[in-house]
A and B are shown apart, each in its own frame.
Chain A
């Protein structure tokens, strides 16, 4: 039996939710005030995912970098790898919001897109 503590992010209350697990099985969830707490913790335990935002270099633009994001959340343990995958990329200005920067980043099936317009200078 393993015990883990989470702070639920569902609302400002921020319940401290305690979970007992055995292997991959969740044995008990306590401390949550509402069902959202249980859902949140289950997701965090079994498949935590995050949207990643970062930067990519741009050549010939009004700015030297452009902001980017994963269009959907990716597994949390891929965040570092995802940012690394952006390191060597250099875009040519102009860059438009929505331009795909990397397809299927780190095999997640999720694209990385530009989130800012960078005009050519």
Chain B
């Protein structure tokens, strides 16, 4: 019997796993996809929210402000891109000023620092492209942007090197209470564990309801996004929100931490737990709503669109569901982690780990290594660093992805590091190869070739992500 099983290797599961790794437990993370960061964590706004949205007193509010505060140190420790670019909530109507005021008060109660309301003139001086219609804004200098992939991957890698076992391609089918723990049946065999932590995103209700009579319900809430070319990445420098509506935070316009411009999300409750398709209506709606925030939204510069599912819990208090299930000792939920889940993840990991410690005491591991070095980044490196990398390994001079300037050296590193990439999406999220304006048109055949060579597979076995997503269907003249 193992000590702890974590279900789900999204940002929440990986943040929990990394905190668990600080203690003397045997921890296994089960992930149904072929890589970490394959669900909600891969398709969201990439924002480190300041923390003025959540209702004071909720876990959301607490973990948001804490998580936001942890980002600088964590980013230094785990080497993932994070930038405190600040955020603005626009008010377009004098009659809505009380809403800004309410947000300000809420934020101050939640402990958000430096929060203040600014008037049009200051707003325009901060963000010249912001809409002429904005009359005032709430300004949160502590708001930030983060790479959701690299944050998740960094947490996972660090957990892995500290002894956490990750089982990918392992879907949990059944959880049963047994004496002293749980029996977890997966597509790849049966495991037993003293503690189970449920961080399964939109599927968290399914697993919770297998062991608890206090039923939980999660609705997948779809959000569509458009990503624009780096050419227009500086359209705004801060994250621009609109005053919230009943469907969430409204549409945001933000630079990404990698320098693109991101617009989104829509908000639509759906039945399909895998419904990550974009729609014409959604994309048109996005452009229309984002155009309220900025002048002349460069909609023609879209390089890709995507949709993600937020795990919206149907609860009275509109809060995350975190902690031990009342009627299932040793079964801990980290469920309903919708926005601002990405921001909360580091704080959530600590919060939940403290609860697990009470249930299953363990000593701290002396050999825990909290630091992790990321993949070198030729695109961002300065001349000296580039020269040093190339001297070390000439493959850092061999460009594979021309749009994002990603070299074979970086791709090799992505494959061979702990929890290395085995798919094209895995390479993409770790190195950005294929994320540029040609959207992998030029580099994907070469990346597939490198993956096949390094993993000792045939090119036909290499896929975009999970099984069934292979690119090649055969050889010429076979039919």
Contact = CB atoms under 8 A, between A and B. Distances in A.
Interface of A: 55, 65, 83-84, 86-87
B223 to A, nearest CB: 43
B477 interface: yes
7 contacts: A55-B476, A55-B477, A65-B476, A83-B477, A84-B477, A86-B477, A87-B477
Interface string B454-479: 00000000000000000000001100
A84 B476 CA distance: 11
A83 B478 CA distance: 11
A48 B440 CA distance: 40
Which 7 A-B residue pairings sit nearest by Cβ, starting from the closest? A87-B477, A55-B476, A83-B477, A65-B476, A86-B477, A84-B477, A55-B477
Contacts of A83: 477
B476 to A, nearest CB: 6
Contacts of B476: 55, 65
A38 to B, nearest CB: 38
Contacts of A87: 477
Interface of B: 476-477
B448 to A, nearest CB: 14
B452 to A, nearest CB: 13
B406 to A, nearest CB: 24
B31 to A, nearest CB: 35
A106 to B, nearest CB: 15
B399 to A, nearest CB: 20
B299 to A, nearest CB: 34
Nearest to B476: A55
A40 to B, nearest CB: 31
A28 to B, nearest CB: 41
B479 to A, nearest CB: 10
A87 B476 CA distance: 8
A86 B477 CA distance: 9
B319 to A, nearest CB: 58
Nearest to B477: A87
A83 B476 CA distance: 11
A116 B477 CA distance: 19
A114 to B, nearest CB: 16
Contacts of B477: 55, 83-84, 86-87
Nearest to A55: B476
A55 B477 CA distance: 9
B272 to A, nearest CB: 41
A64 B75 CA distance: 45
A53 to B, nearest CB: 13
A84 B479 CA distance: 10
B301 to A, nearest CB: 33
A87 B475 CA distance: 11
Nearest to A65: B476
Nearest to B478: A87
A2 to B, nearest CB: 33
A76 B467 CA distance: 41
A65 B477 CA distance: 12
Contacts of A84: 477
A47 B477 CA distance: 27
B384 to A, nearest CB: 35
Contacts of A55: 476-477
A87 B477 CA distance: 6
A87 B479 CA distance: 10
A67 to B, nearest CB: 11
A105 B476 CA distance: 19
A77 B477 CA distance: 18
A90 to B, nearest CB: 12
A65 B475 CA distance: 11
Nearest to A86: B477
Nearest to A84: B477
A86 B475 CA distance: 14
A104 to B, nearest CB: 20
B445 to A, nearest CB: 13
A83 B479 CA distance: 11
A76 B459 CA distance: 34
A50 B192 CA distance: 67
